[in-house]
């Protein structure tokens, strides 16, 4: 069955669903086959990303075999190679790739998790990303772990005592039975200063320290990861399986965190999981409780843990997080609301 249409949009404020978060540069992508079946995905790049989809990628895909998802990824990558490889073009490709996987599932009457060899409807543990003030004093929310975000606003040299105090408070609230992680959001620059901070934090038994350095400081990450008493996580802002192969060969991280809506889509996420098994490292995708990444976690992950606590994209359906547990809808494709999404393209 051939592809008849490919289109990407950014909902305007008048049409935008609740919590669309346009500042996050999300785009909504639709791929339609000749018989009228549609698949949907989320990518990135904002208006510039929609231009890539609606011109270069549409030119490559209309008239092509809709079932050849992996081959179509290669075509899209080659078509944007001169100006792509990382960043905006890969974010655009991610949305199209996810729409193609959704279309594949809908045409076969199978959920994406089933296409990957897993089962729908299974409960998956989730962790909550939040601020210190929003961490409860007990475990009544049901989450398997908590992650404190926003530490990059503090300086790893001048604000060490405050960082230690804040994470100590978080640990006291969570207790030592639940895992606790921390996210610096690429906010620090000096690996030696970060190592000194990690040594101060060692007694808190953090599950990981996420993105303490800029994404391109591969040498710094490898140096830090080798010496840190705290596991180092990263990869949220990396693109393509080839780039993750380089990270793993260098030993940059203990935990790799690809974002399926940015890294190249599900086709690349599957490859990243395969490489992680070969290298003996863990994958814990960014935004993992959304419908786009959760099927891979359910089907491919030996130690599944889905990120929650941020309500991105809840309006599309496909997954639910109740009492700290994520669950995939037992529906074709990603299980997202095709009527709601389709209406945004038909207006």
Residues with a known catalytic role: 286
Residue-wise DSSP of 297-331:
HHHH-SS--EEES--TTGGGBSEEEETTEEEE-SS
Work out the number of other CB atoms within 10 angstroms of the CB of residue 274. Answer: 12
Per-position b or e across 306-344, b if 16+ CB within 10 A of its CB: bbbbbebbbebbbbebeebbbbbbebbbbbbbbeebeeb
In angstroms, the first-to-last Cα distance of the chain is: 26
Helices 241-250 and 266-279: angle between axes, nearest 10 degrees: 20
Residue pointed to by tokens 């978060």: 21
CA atoms within 13 A on the CB side of 345: 21
Nearest 10 degrees: Cα torsion 328, 331, 332, 334: -30
Residue pointed to by tokens 């950014």: 10
H/E stretch holding 124 reads strand 123-130
- Distance (Å, rounded) from C-alpha 265 to C-alpha 269? 6
Edge to edge, the sheet with strand 3-9 lists 3-9, 26-33, 38-44
């Amino acid at each position: 069955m051939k592809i008849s249409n490919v289109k990407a949009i950014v909902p305007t404020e008048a049409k935008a669903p609740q919590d669309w978060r346009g500042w996050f540069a999300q785009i909504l992508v639709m791929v339609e086959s000749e018989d009228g079946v549609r698949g949907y995905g989320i990518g990135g790049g904002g208006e510039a990303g929609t231009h890539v989809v609606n011109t270069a990628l549409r030119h490559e895909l209309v008239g092509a075999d809709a079932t050849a998802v992996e081959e179509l990824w290669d075509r899209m990558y080659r078509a944007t190679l001169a100006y792509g490889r990382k960043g905006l073009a890969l974010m655009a490709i991610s949305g199209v790739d996810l729409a193609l996987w959704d279309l594949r599932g809908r045409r076969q009457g199978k959920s994406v998790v089933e296409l990957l060899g897993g089962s729908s409807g299974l409960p998956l543990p989730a962790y909550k990303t939040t601020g210190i003030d929003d961490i409860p004093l007990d475990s009544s929310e049901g989450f398997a772990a908590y992650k404190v975000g926003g530490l990059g606003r503090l300086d790893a040299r001048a604000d060490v005592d405050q960082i230690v105090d804040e994470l100590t408070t978080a640990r006291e609230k969570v207790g030592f039975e639940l895992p606790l992680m921390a996210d610096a959001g690429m906010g620090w620059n000096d690996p030696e200063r970060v190592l000194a901070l990690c040594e101060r934090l060692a007694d808190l038994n953090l599950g990981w320290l996420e993105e303490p350095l800029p994404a391109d400081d591969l040498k710094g990450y490898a140096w830090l990861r080798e010496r840190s008493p705290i596991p180092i996580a990263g990869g949220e802002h990396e693109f393509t399986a080839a780039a993750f192969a380089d990270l793993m060969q260098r030993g940059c991280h203990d935990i790799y965190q690809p974002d399926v809506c940015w890294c190249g889509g599900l086709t690349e996420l599957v490859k990243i999981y395969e490489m992680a098994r070969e290298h003996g490292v863990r994958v814990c995708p960014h935004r993992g409780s959304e419908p786009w990444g959760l099927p891979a976690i359910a089907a491919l992950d030996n130690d599944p843990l889905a990120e929650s606590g941020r309500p991105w994209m809840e309006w599309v359906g496909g997954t639910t997080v109740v009492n700290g547990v994520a669950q995939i809808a037992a529906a074709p494709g990603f299980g997202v609301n095709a009527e709601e999404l389709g209406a945004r393209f038909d207006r």
